[in-house]
Amino acid sequence: MFDNEGFAKPWLEFEEEVGGRLLLHGSISEILAGYEKVGVTLASTLTFPTPDQSVTTKDVTIRPGLKVRIYTPQCYEGGKPVCVFYHGGGWAMGDLEGEDIQLRTVCRDAGIVIVSVDYRLAPQHPYPAPFDDCIFAYDWAIENAAMLNTTPGAALTFGTSAGGNLALSVALKVIDEGRGQTLRGVVSVVPVTVAPDSVPEKWRGSYTSYEEHAEHTINTKSAMESFFDAYGGQGDDPYVSPLLHKRLKDIPRVYLAVAGQDTLRDDGRLLRRALDDAGQYLGYPHWFWAFPSKHLTEPIAEYDRNLKRGFDFVVASESEARGTMRLSMI
C-alpha cells in the first residue's frame, strides 16, 4: 500500500489509471530497464498527443558527436533571444525525442526558437563531458543568431530536472567567463541544485525531501543516488551544485518550477531562498506534466500556462520585466 499523504487527487487518480506508482530504483542499468517498463505501461494506458506540426524542426550536427534540434514556431518573425534547452534524465538518460512534444508546445506558446541539445550521457561520458557539450551548444547558438533569426548576442537557458541543473550551471559558467551580457535568464523546471552531501550547514535542517519523498516520485532517493554516482562530479563543485555558486544572484532572471511531492523539492526551495523569491506546485511529484492522463488535464494546463508566463518574463526587455525571479510550485 502506497503512502498517499500530500498527493493531489488528480495524481492519485492517474496512479490508479496506470496501475500503481511509477518508481525507478537501483543501478543505472536497472533504472534504464525500469524506465523501459514504465514506457510500456504508459503506452498501453494513455493516449499521447501527436507532435504539433505547426512547429518546424531541423536536426544539425554542430561538432562530431554532438547534435541539436532547432525548433521554430509558425510565422516566426525574429527579434527574440534564442532558447538553449537541456533535457532531463539524471545526466544518464534522455535524448532529442524524449521531450519533443513538450518543446513544441513551449516553442509555439512562447514564440521563440529553441535549440535542444543532445549532450553526451553518463556514466559512459561522466562530468564534465555533458556540461562541456552544453556550454559548446550555448556558444554555437549565440554564434549562429543570423541563421536562427534570433536576437544577436542574446540567449536564455532552459532545462528540466538534471537539465535544469545544466541550465543553471551553463548560465553561471557564461557569467564566470565574462560573457554574462549574452545571458537573458534561466528557465529551470524541477532542477537538481545541490548534491545532498554538500548542502550548506545553515540549510541542512530544511533539506528533507530526499527522505520525505524517497518513494513518492519516479526519481526515488535511490535513483538520485545512482544518477549522482554516474555523473561523477564532486558535490562541492559549483557547476555540479549551482546552489553553492557565489555568483548565483548575477543571473539576470530566473523562472523556477518546483513539485511538492518530489525528492528534488528542497533543491528548488533552497534555490528560491538563495534568490529570495519563489512559488510551488503542491501535491504533485517529479515530471507530472509529461503524463497525458485525463485526470491530469487541469494541472498540466496550469503548468503550461505558468511556463509560458515564465518565458514571457525571462524573454521580456528590461523595461517590461519587473524583478529577477518567478516561481511556480505544484
Catalytic one among 139, 262, 266, 267? 262
Residue burial 23-51, b: 16+ Cβ < 10 Å; e: rest:
bbeeebeebeebbeeeeeebeeeeeeeee
Catalytic one among 116, 161, 222, 241? 161
Of 74, 69, 119, 132, the closest CA to residue 93 belongs to 119
Grid cell, residue 139, equals: 556558444
- Spatial strand order of the sheet with 56-63 comes to 56-63, 66-72, 114-118, 82-86, 155-160, 183-189, 254-258, 325-329
Give 53's DSSP letter.
Answer: T
CA atoms within 13 A on the CB side of 266: 19
Task: Note whether 198 and 242 are within 8 A (CB).
Answer: no
37-43: long-range contacts at Cβ-Cβ below 8 A with a sequence spacing of 24 or more?
Answer: 38/218, 42/18, 42/291
Task: Note whether 301 and 253 are within 8 A (CB).
Answer: no
CA dist., res. 295 & res. 192, Å (int): 27
209 is catalytic: no
161 is catalytic: yes
CA dist., res. 4 & res. 184, Å (int): 40
Task: Note whether 20 and 45 are within 8 A (CB).
Answer: no
Catalytic one among 169, 286, 295, 328? 286
Of 96, 85, 86, 93, the closest CA to residue 24 belongs to 93
The residues annotated as belonging to the active site are 161, 262, 286
